[in-house]
Amino acid sequence: MSLHIHDLRATLEDGTEILKGVTLDIPKGEVHAIMGPNGSGKSTLSKVIAGHEGYLVTGGSVTLDGQDIFSMSIDERSRAGIFLAFQYPSEVPGVSNANFIRAALQARLPQGEELDAVAYYHRLYAKMDLLEIDRKFTARSVNEGFSGGEKKRNEVLQLMMLEPLYGILDETDSGLDIDALKIVAKGVNAMRAPHRGFLLITHYQRLLDYIKPDYVHVMAEGRIVRSGGPELAHELEKDGYEFLKDLAPA
Amino acid sequence: MNSPVPAPTPSAALPALPAWFTSRQQAAWSRYLAIPTPKRGDEMWRFSNIKQLDFTGFSRSTGVPAVKEDGATSLSPHEKTGILPVIPDRQDACLPLDLIARSSGLEDTAAKLIFINETLVHSQSSLPAGVLCLSLAEALVSHSALVETHFMKQEPRLGSAKFAALHEASVVNGVFVHVPDDVEVAHPIEIHHWLAGSNTLIFPHTLVVTGRHAKVRVVEMFRSADDLQPGLAIAFNDLAAGPGSKLDYVAIQAFNELSRVIQINETAAARDATTTGFVLNTGAAWARNESLSRLEGPGARSDMLSVSIAAHAQEYDQRTFQHHVSPGAFSDLLYKNLLYDFAGTIFSGLISVDEGAHHTDAYQTCRNLLMSDTCEANSMPGLEINADQVKCSHGSTSSQISEEEIFYLRARGIDSAAARQLIARGFSIEVLARLGDEPLESLVIGFMDEKFASIAKASN
């Protein structure tokens, strides 16, 4: 049981190839981190898995526990168990956070079944407390006027509420101070479980001090160029991405 | 063919209308005949669908079958309006009871009045002493001088002078609310208007007057008895806010989509008065709203608000006028339109600052959210400033939902249709929040959600 990415190729609408054959297997229970310089295709990988329509898949496959996700719409993928924590979450004016998360949960229920509101708020408040989010947050419009840290905490709150099978975190650490980073990591660590896999996309090793990955991969120019254990992150932190120069792709 | 319904005969028991009123009606009728019908090319009717002004085929309602709420029929004149009831035929006998039952609204109201066409069929109230809330027909007799002081005082200047004259010449009933000095009405006064029968024409009129430091909120709902019969309403609401008073008026227009409506609002705000006018449009094939706020004293404030959800081939045509007569007054307009399918909206707004109306603050914003590629939103904001030290701004935008926003919601498992509805609803919420009254917001949201559901159903 895994999120399996095989020889994935994707282009922008103008035909520019961004992913040039990515292969990666994320079994349940494991946390994988992808690191790499800007423009290496890390964020694109996450968006293609989530179903962003700005990219065209030109080859390869992604399967969720054996199920082809490219036959599913964006929202079907989410309901099937994929969660993308956005690097730049959208603002949704006039839609309160509480109603937004509720709508997402409601979408997972069979037609005609109503979410139990009391149980919902009980659970929501418990997760908010863990992420040190003020109660007033529920009435605020989704991400509108949020600080960078608040937006990222909101992403992790949604992750905790939706309980996906696979969580993909796209640069969740960017723009966070150390305290906010610790809180976000606390939320993600609370969600680590034998029945859940994670893919962390990050530019910096710092996040991995708080969310310990099982494996670290390096992405460059649309491919995974190195894979290793957690020690690889420290090596990259020390030596940077200089070594990539020696891996001149064909 | 339906059997002809007997027309209400003026009853001997009906008290005579005051002379000032009948002479005004006659003058208005002459004016109606003299004013030319708006035509293509008239500035006030720019972009309008002039064809909608052909009212051929519509006729006055002939009353409603009178059935008391206990189910017994009555043949005596209505106790308040004096209008003689029509003998119910079998088909219509249950209509009033059915409509009274369907007139749900706010939980807490200070008064509730229900009209079927122009007949008051239900009225209940628990108003503070001194507050008048009665049918216009009754008020014309019992409080003639008070009604005369405030009835249709302002010059209609937004294009519908002809229809305002027709209204004035034809009006037989409506609501008169008068709140004396220093009296606050805690809960809203709720008025239901039901348009019943085929090709029925009604002239609802609501006159609300507040004394010094008085406070009241009036909520009107306009609906059709069924979805299949076209109707026409030429409605007028006349609001006169006395010094330091607070007067809020909410109109929910949810007629069936075969009907047409012209709704004229005229608000006068005296020194330090605060007025809020809100219009929701979800119904009618075509609606023309003209809203005029006149700031008559320093410290006066007028908030002009509207949400319109236009779908299918609906057309909403809104014209507004923020008239700063006095220095030191404030007005703020926020209109939001959601457009689906082949729908069209027109917004034409003018802020006019008279000579000497210094230190005016006036703002105007119209936002259109285009939900299809085939809808059409026209906006014509305008300013006329003849005073100094004035703060004014006007802006109008049209946009579509961003793909990134839709992607974000869908990535949370919300399907495309539900995501678009959430965003559309959210777009409108900013306006409702300005009402600052949760039960009222919920009531309005209920009507909006009904419209969203009908849009979703039609697109399936």
CB contact under 8 A, A86 and B418: no
A65 within domain boundaries: yes
The domain containing residue A172 runs over which residues? 2-94+165-247
- Give the integer Cα–Cα distance in Å for B419 and B357: 46
> What average pLDDT does range B423-440 have in this prediction?
95
**Structural domains of chain B, count:** 1
Asked if residue B77 lies in contact with residue B219, where contact means CB atoms within 8 angstroms, the answer is no
Tell which phi-psi region holds residue B91, choosing left (phi > 0), alpha (psi between -120 and 50) or beta: alpha
Mutation choice for A interface testing from B402, B414, B449, B452 by most A CBs within 10 A: B414
Whether residue B425 and residue A104 make contact (CB cut-off 8 A), yes or no, is no
In this structure, of B94-98, B198-202, B207-211, B259-263, the range with the lowest mean pLDDT score is: B94-98
Question: Is position A124 within any domain?
Answer: no
B403, B407, B412 member nearest A104 (Cβ): B412
Taking contacts as CB-CB distances below 8 angstroms, the residues of chain A near B429 are 93-95
Q: Does residue A116 form part of some domain?
A: no
- Please answer yes or no on whether A95 and B418 come within 8 Å at the CB atom: no
pLDDT tens, B369-419? Answer: 999 999 999 999 999 999 999 999 999 999 999 999 999 999 999 999 999
Q: Which residue of A has its CA nearest to B421?
A: A95
Q: Confirm whether A154 is domain-assigned.
A: no
**Closest Cα of chain A to B337: distance in Å?**
15
First to last CA, chain B: 35
CATH number of the domain enclosing A237 = 3.40.50.300
Provide the angle, in degrees to the nearest 10, between the axes of the packed helices B438-459 and B416-433. Answer: 150
Tokens standing for B425? 């609803």
From A248's Cα to the closest Cα of chain B, the distance in A is 34
Q: Where are the beta strands (DSSP E) in B296-343?
A: 301-310, 315-324, 330-339
Measure CB to CB from residue B413 to each of A52, A53, A75 and give the nearest one: A75
The proportion of chain B whose per-residue pLDDT surpasses 90, expressed as a percent, equals 86
d(CA A208, CA A185): 9
Residue B439, CA distances (Å) to A4, B435, B444, B446 in order:
50, 10, 9, 11
Model confidence band, residue B74 (pLDDT cutoffs 50, 70, 90): very low
User: ∠A139-A143-A146 over CA atoms, to 5°?
Assistant: 95
**Distance between CA atoms of residues A162 and A81, nearest Å:** 9
CA distance B248 to B447: 19
Helix (H, G, I), strand (E, B) or coil at B166: helix
ipTM of the complex: 0.96
Predicted pLDDT of residue B64 = 54
Say if CB B249 and CB B239 are below 8 A apart.
yes
- With respect to residue B424, please indicate whether it lies within any of the assigned structural domains: no
Residue B241 half-sphere exposure toward CB, CA atoms < 13 A: 34
Q: B63 in helix, strand or coil?
A: coil
Q: Does residue B113 contact residue B194 with C-beta atoms inside 8 Å?
A: no
Per-residue CA distances from B161 to A158, B55, B232 (Å): 55, 16, 17
Question: Number of structural domains, chain A?
Answer: 1
On chain A, the residues whose CB falls within 8 A of the CB of B402 are 90
pLDDT of residue B12: 43
Nearest to A141 among B402, B409, B426 (CB): B426
User: Is residue B413, in this structure, part of any structural domain at all?
Assistant: no
Give the 3-state secondary structure percentages of chain A, helix then strand then coil, rounded to 5: 40, 30, 30
Structure token pair of residue A165 = 């099978």
Q: DSSP assignment, residue B74?
A: -
User: What is the rounded CA–CA span in Å between residue B79 and residue B101?
Assistant: 21
pLDDT digits (tens, 9 = 90+) for B168-207: 999 999 999 999 999 999 999 999 999 999 999 999 999 9
What is the domain range of residue B46? 19-401
> What is chain A's pLDDT, residue by residue, as a tens digit (250 residues)?
899 999 999 999 999 999 999 999 999 999 999 999 889 999 999 999 999 999 999 999 999 999 999 999 999 999 999 999 999 999 999 999 999 999 999 999 998 999 999 999 999 999 999 999 999 999 999 999 999 999 999 999 999 999 999 999 999 998 899 999 999 999 999 999 999 999 999 988 889 999 999 999 999 999 999 999 999 988 888 888 877 777 655 4
**A104 in B contact zone (CB under 8 Å):** yes
Beta bridge partners of A92: A142
Q: Is A158 in the B-facing interface, judged by CB distances under 8 Å? A: yes
Cα distances (angstroms) measured from residue A228 to each of A4, A224, A233, B104 = 18, 11, 9, 66
Which pLDDT does position B62 carry in this prediction? 63
The span from the CA of B347 to the CA of B287, in Å, is 12
Does residue A172 sit within a domain? yes
